[in-house]
Amino acid sequence: MYTADERRYETMKYNRCGLSGLLLPALSLGLWHNFGDTGNYENMKEMCFTAFDNGITHFDLANNYGPKPGSAEENFGRILKEELGRYRDELIISTKAGYEMWEGPYGNWGSRKYLIASLDESLKRMGLDYVDIFYHHRMDPLTPLEETMGALEQIVKSGKALYAGLSNYDGETLDKAAAILSERNVPFIINQNRYNILDRAIEKNGLKETSRRLGKGIICFSPLAQGRLTDRYLNGIPEDSRVRTDGRFLHEDQVGPEQMEKIRKLNAVASKRGQTLAEMALAWLLRDGDITSVIIGASRPSQITENVKALRNTVFSETELQDIDQCVQ
């Protein structure tokens, strides 16, 4: 039986999520990849143990994480039942719904029917009575926003989630959604969006500014740009890389000559700071007062340990920040 490291809270930093009472670890563990049916269960367990032993209390899931959809929640539920369950009150567990989960017209997007049914199934897969945060996973251009927010209201007030979150929203839609949730006294506290040195979309679509103004937290995913902000591609595309084995999320043109020139320049800045490129990329996010937490992914426990090292130096000079910006222009 797993026993957590007694020193697990000594080095992790915890940030307040917007104006709420909830604290999240600066680094969270995402179960998007490597926790589905194609993963190794013993490795999954060790990654969860390593994360928690380093003070990572937040585990981020979604209904469709796999493959197959739902299998990441099933495997995490097994880990909870066999090992981590006795630490439930020390954990923040989040899940989402919004992408295609099952066939037919009721297994996608943002209807009340889909969101409530999906969370019920997620809770069964994980063996939980509630999740700490439930997100609508993406904006729905057809379902009335009032209906989607009404579903989040019902979910929280039924006790199936403690807090509501929104994922992949832009600033304008966030503003409208937050107003509805505020009127209904729903504890909406957090936005989840892609953000990294190479992808600054939330700075341009109003999400970052709006979250700050409304007092909502931001948790960002893909902080290492699907591995581009690591040493993985500095010397070419490995045959076992995601580009070669799974082209859905990272394409060969994203690691082409022009992109790699930018990444090599970033690597030089990191070296001057005494950090790996991955450490610097994480530190660049962790230094940002608008960012509550950064979701890291991993394929093995050692990657989690390496990522935690980014917490050692999150201070950047103005010159370093300017150099990073110039690298990616």
Question: What are the tens digits of pLDDT across the range 188-223?
Answer: 999 999 999 999 999 999 999 999 999 999 999 999
The 10 Å Cβ neighbour count of residue 19 is: 10
Spell out the alpha helix ranges (H) of 127-197: 145-157, 171-183
Residue pair 47/298 in contact (Cβ under 8 Å)? The answer is: yes
Residue pair 20/182 in contact (Cβ under 8 Å)? The answer is: no
* pLDDT at residue 260 in the model: 84
Q: What H or E segment, with its residue span, contains residue 320?
A: helix 318-327
DSSP letter assigned to residue 87: G
* pLDDT at residue 236 in the model: 57
Residue pair 168/130 in contact (Cβ under 8 Å)? The answer is: no
DSSP letter assigned to residue 327: H
* pLDDT at residue 329 in the model: 86
Beta strand pairing call for 27-30 and 161-167 = unpaired
Question: Quick one: tokens of 266?
Answer: 């970033």
Instruction: Tell me the CATH class for 14-327.
Output: alpha beta
Model pTM score: 0.95
Per-domain residue ranges for the chain?
14-327
* pLDDT at residue 244 in the model: 47
Q: What H or E segment, with its residue span, contains residue 117?
A: helix 112-126
* pLDDT at residue 213 in the model: 98
* Strand, helix or coil for residue 61: coil
SS (H, E, C) 246-279: CCCCCCHHHHCHHHHHHHHHHHHHHHHHCCCHHH
- Amino acid letter for position 37: D
* pLDDT at residue 168 in the model: 98
Number of continuous H segments (helices) and E segments (strands) in the chain: 12, 10
* Strand, helix or coil for residue 162: strand
Residues of the chain with pLDDT under 70: 235-256
Helices 41-53, 71-79: inter-axial angle, 10-degree rounding: 60
DSSP letter assigned to residue 140: -
Question: From the centroid of its chain, how far is CA 284?
Answer: 16
Rg of the chain, C-alpha, whole Å: 19
Q: Round to whole Å and give the CA distance between 70 and 91.
A: 20
